């Protein structure tokens, strides 16, 4: 059923005549009813006073803002029920906010109560252009093409299209230095390695104190870093930390499963795992001492550290990489070598065949 698009005419006639389309005819706009303020002078005066009051409060609040800005110190606190907050922030916001609010409320109140509220009618036009416009455009465009001589000399048009297409090429290629190109070589230097190396000590994060196994109890968790992280700073420090952070946990050897290939990766139930989740890279520290499960708070991937870090729940698809550890000459825990697999989130070129899977030995 097509609707009346009414080129500048009201559709009311249709709404009266077409019984099938309009079973109830249009009664037309309801008559305008006056508001109280239209008939009662006292009500109108009251509304006027209200609007003026709203507007009148605004300068007072604005001056209040200025006073608060200069007079209230930054360490003053307000303690009022559940609100224990910085006074200056609160007062600056209350003065300015209420000023804005009252200005707006006053304007709206004026419009609602006092301004003339007779509704007006405007007539719509079709969204499409008029036939006259369309005809003019078609005729003139024809002339435009003719005057450009494009139709006679087609090679201009074709070569133009080719030229316009390729002019974008320098702009696109110019972005090629947005970052280093992750070629195979680059990946091996960056995301496929960490700064762990044979003999690097495992140290406690933040304090950078080295660790001895006899100081670790069953059920203990240590957030660790490589000792050589301290030699770095700035962006390099952050980049390497984001890959080399580890956790060291001690479990009772009788309660965990250590595959034959990893028997010499641990020291009496002390195991070292990458701290970086294999899902999208959040650091994981939430370790359940009794179940040996490690829960990532970002998306709830859960790894069983008592079973070589396999995934037991959640969206992570690969086991948590384990760092083989040993003792150095002075009895501190050191890494035997770098991780055997890239740590952290997956990427397309990652060879995931070497990751530990349930049932591996």
Partner 1 sequence: MRLLSSRRRHPAAKALLLVSGLFLMGALYTLIAPPAQVLADTGNSQQIAEGKALFAVGCASCHGLNGEGQVSGTIQGPPLAGVGAAAVDFQVSSGRMPMARPGEQAPVKPNLYSEEEIAALAAYVASLGPGPAIPEPAAYDTSNLSAEDLARGGELFRTNCSACHNFEGAGGALPNGKYAPPLIGLDNKRIYEAMITGPQQMPVFDDEVLRPEDKRAIIGYLQSLHERPTDGGLALGGLGPVSEGLWAWIIGLGSLIFFAMWIAAKGAKAK
Partner 2 sequence: MAQPAATVPDDSSVQPVTPQKELGPVFKAASGPTKWLDDRIGLAGLGRPFLRKVFPDHWSFLLGEIALYSFVVLILSGIFLTIWFKPSMSEIEYQGSYELLRGLRMSEAYASTLGLSFDIRGGLLLRQMHHWAAAVFIAAMLTHSLRIFFTGAFRKPREINWLIGVAMLTLGLIEGFAGYSLPDDLLSGTGLRFVDGLIRAIPLIGTWAEFFTFAGEFPGSLIIPRLYMVHILLVPALLLGLIAAHLALVVYHKHTQYPGPGRVQGNVVGYPVFPVYAAKAGGFFLIVFGVLTLMGATMQINPVWVFGPYNPAEITAGSQPDWYMGFVEGGIRIMPNWEWHIGSTTWSWNVAIPGLGLMGLFFGLMAIYPFVEAWVTGDKSEHHLLDRPRNNPTRTAFGVAAMTGYAMLWIGGGNDLVATQFHVSLNSVTYFLRVAVFVAPVLAFLVTKRICIGLQRADRDRMLHGAESGVIDRAPSGKYAERHRAISQGEAFKLTQHPDQPALLPLTDVDGMSVKEIKSEQRRRKATRFYFIDTLRRPTRAELEEAAEHHMHPMAIEGDGEHHAIEPEPEEEHHLAK
129, 139, 261, 304 from 143: Cα distances, Å: 20, 7, 83, 77
In terms of C-beta distances under 8 Å and separation of at least 24 residues, what long-range contacts does 3-7 make, across chains too?
A: 5/126, 6/123, 6/124, 7/125, 7/126
Encoded tokens for 84: 């224990």
Span interacting with partner 1, options 13-21, 162-170, 190-198, 202-210, rule CB under 8 A:
202-210
User: Which one, of 156, 36, 51, 47, lies nearest residue 104 by Cα?
Assistant: 51
122 binds partner 1 (CB under 8 A): no
Partner from partner 2, partner 1, none contacting 25, C-beta within 5 to 8 A by type: partner 2
Looking at residue 263, the DSSP 8-state letter turns out to be G
Binding-residue pattern over the window 39 to 68 for partner 2, x denoting contact by CB under 8 A = ------------------------------
**Interface pick for partner 1 out of 108, 156, 160, 188 (rule CB under 8 A):** 108
Binding-residue pattern over the window 157 to 196 for partner 1, x denoting contact by CB under 8 A = ----------------------------------------
**Interface pick for partner 1 out of 287, 303, 339, 356 (rule CB under 8 A):** 287
Residue 324 · residue 335 · CB < 8 Å: yes
Longest dimension (CA), the chain: 103
- C-alpha dihedral sign at 172, 174, 180, 186: positive
Partner from partner 2, partner 1, none contacting 35, C-beta within 5 to 8 A by type: partner 1
286 binds partner 1 (CB under 8 A): yes
Q: Distance between alpha carbon 42 and the CA centroid of its chain, in Å?
A: 55
Residue 262 · residue 308 · CB < 8 Å: yes
- Minimum Å gap between C-beta 144 and partner 2 is 13
Residue whose CB is less far from partner 1, 191 or 271: 271
**Interface pick for partner 1 out of 45, 89, 159, 264 (rule CB under 8 A):** 89
Partner from partner 2, partner 1, none contacting 187, C-beta within 5 to 8 A by type: partner 2
Partner from partner 1, partner 2, none contacting 288, C-beta within 5 to 8 A by type: partner 1
Partner from partner 1, partner 2, none contacting 147, C-beta within 5 to 8 A by type: none
Residues near partner 2 (CB under 8 A), total: 121
Q: Could you give the CA distance from residue 50 to residue 309 in angstroms, rounded to a whole number? A: 70
Residue whose CB is less far from partner 2, 51 or 258: 51
Span interacting with partner 2, options 42-50, 112-120, 154-162, 195-203, rule CB under 8 A:
112-120
Span interacting with partner 1, options 3-11, 83-91, 135-143, 335-343, rule CB under 8 A:
83-91
Using the CB atoms, write b or e for 241-250: b if 16+ within 10 Å. Answer: bebbbbbbbb
213 binds partner 2 (CB under 8 A): no
347 binds partner 2 (CB under 8 A): yes
Partner from partner 1, partner 2, none contacting 36, C-beta within 5 to 8 A by type: partner 1
- C-alpha dihedral sign at 245, 250, 254, 255: negative
Residues near partner 1 (CB under 8 A), total: 50
10, 14, 203 from 127: Cα distances, Å: 16, 20, 72
**Could you give the dihedral angle defined by the CA atoms of residues 241, 244, 250 and 253, in that order, rounded to the nearest 10 degrees?**
170
Residue 293 · residue 252 · CB < 8 Å: no
Q: Is 301 exposed, middle or buried (0-12, 13-18, 19+ CB in 10 A)?
A: buried
Partner from partner 1, partner 2, none contacting 281, C-beta within 5 to 8 A by type: partner 2
**Interface pick for partner 1 out of 34, 59, 182, 268 (rule CB under 8 A):** 34
Q: Could you give the CA distance from residue 243 to residue 191 in angstroms, rounded to a whole number? A: 8
Q: Please report, as ranges, the residues that interact with partner 1 according to CB under 8 A.
A: 33-36, 38-40, 77, 79, 82-86, 89-90, 108, 112, 204-207, 209, 211-212, 215-223, 249, 283-291, 293, 295, 297, 300, 302, 313
């Amino acid at each position: 059923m097509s609707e009346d698009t009414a080129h500048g005419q009201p559709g009311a006639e249709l709404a009266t005549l077409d019984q099938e389309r309009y079973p109830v005819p249009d009664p037309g706009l309801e008559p305008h009813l006056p508001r109280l303020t239209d008939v009662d002078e006292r009500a109108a005066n009251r509304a006027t006073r209200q609007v003026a009051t709203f507007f009148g409060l605004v300068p007072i609040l604005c001056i209040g803002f200025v006073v608060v800005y200069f007079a209230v110190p930054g360490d003053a606190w307000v303690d009022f029920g559940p609100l224990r907050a910085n006074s200056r922030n609160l007062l600056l916001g209350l003065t300015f906010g209420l000023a804005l609010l009252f200005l707006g409320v006053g304007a709206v109140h004026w419009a609602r109560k006092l301004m003339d509220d007779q509704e007006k009618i405007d007539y719509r036009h079709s969204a499409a252009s008029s036939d006259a416009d369309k005809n003019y455009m078609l005729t003139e465009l024809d002339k435009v093409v003719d005057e450009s001589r494009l139709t006679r000399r087609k090679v201009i048009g074709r070569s133009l299209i080719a030229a316009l297409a390729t002019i974008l090429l320098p702009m696109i290629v110019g972005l090629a230095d947005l970052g280093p190109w992750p070629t195979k070589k680059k990946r091996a230097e960056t995301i496929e390695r960490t700064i762990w190396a044979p003999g690097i000590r495992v140290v406690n994060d933040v304090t950078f104190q080295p660790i001895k196994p006899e100081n670790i109890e069953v059920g203990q968790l240590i957030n660790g870093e490589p000792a050589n992280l301290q030699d770095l700073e700035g962006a390099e420090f952050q980049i390497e930390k984001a890959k080399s952070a580890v956790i060291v946990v001690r479990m009772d050897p009788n309660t965990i499963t250590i595959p034959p290939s990893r028997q010499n990766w641990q020291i009496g139930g002390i195991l070292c795992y990458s701290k970086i989740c294999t899902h999208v890279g959040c650091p994981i520290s939430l370790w359940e001492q009794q179940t040996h499960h490690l829960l990532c708070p970002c998306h709830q991937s859960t790894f069983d550290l008592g079973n070589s870090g396999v995934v037991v729940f959640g969206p992570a698809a690969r086991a948590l990489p384990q760092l083989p550890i040993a003792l150095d000459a002075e009895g501190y825990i050191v890494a035997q070598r770098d991780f055997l697999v890239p740590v952290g989130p997956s990427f397309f070129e990652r060879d995931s065949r070497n990751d530990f899977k349930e049932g591996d030995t």
